[in-house]
């Protein structure tokens, strides 16, 4: 019996393993040409699977409460200033001394408090989740470069 030909996906995986630098160049070129299409597909996939991801995360946290609590405890120990600022904003909102505003970039709700300076605990900029993540990603890039 004749040997079966490998699938196209298997062939491509093998090629990428054998040619990592060419594979990277090809990927970068493809992404540059198809960036908008790729981002739109990612957005659609994110929205389509949003409920499933949220359910899985809730299950993981409820099945492993110690791991989640340890992660938060460790972060608070490593970032006492940040933790104190987050707590101060949380308490001010609960007491009614502070109110969440719309995102200062797009005007959407719900928003997250961004601390430009953790020393001024109640001096925050209200950002939607997307813009908050983008801001921190930009700050990381500036710090790296």
Query: Where do the domains of the chain lie?
Result: 97-145
- pLDDT of 85: 96
CA 51, 94, 104, 86 dihedral sign is negative
pLDDT at position 24 is 86
Dihedral sign of CA atoms 131, 133, 134, 135 in order: positive
pLDDT confidence of residue 2:
62
How far is 124 from 92, CA to CA, in rounded Å?
A: 12
CA angle 105, 127, 145 (to 5 degrees): 85
What's phi and psi for 127, nearest 5 deg?
A: -135, 145
Burial class (CB in 10 A: 0-12, 13-18, 19+), 140: exposed
Q: Which residue has the tokens 């601390």?
A: 115
Rounded mean pLDDT for each run of 10 residues along the chain, 145 residues in total: 78 89 87 91 90 92 88 93 96 96 94 94 95 93 83
How far apart CA 103 and CA 126 sit, in angstroms, is 5
What pLDDT is stored for residue 144 in this prediction?
82
pLDDT at 1: 56
pTM: 0.58
User: Cα separation of 113 and 129, whole Å?
Assistant: 10
pLDDT for 27: 86
| 3-state SS, residue 4 | coil
The residue written with tokens 């408090």 in the block is 113
């Amino acid at each position: 019996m004749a040997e079966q030909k490998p699938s196209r996906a298997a062939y491509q995986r093998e090629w990428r393993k054998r040619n990592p630098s060419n594979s990277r160049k090809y990927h970068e070129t493809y992404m540059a040409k198809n960036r908008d299409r790729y981002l739109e597909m990612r957005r659609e996939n994110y929205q389509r699977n949003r409920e499933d991801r949220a359910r899985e995360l809730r299950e993981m946290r409820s099945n492993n409460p110690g791991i989640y609590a340890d992660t938060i405890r460790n972060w608070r120990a490593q970032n006492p200033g940040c933790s104190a600022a987050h707590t101060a904003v949380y308490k001010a909102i609960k007491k009614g001394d502070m109110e969440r505003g719309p995102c200062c970039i797009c005007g959407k709700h719900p928003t997250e408090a961004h601390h430009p300076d953790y020393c001024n605990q109640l001096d925050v900029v209200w950002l939607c989740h997307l813009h908050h993540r983008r801001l921190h990603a930009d700050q990381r890039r500036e710090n790296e470069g």
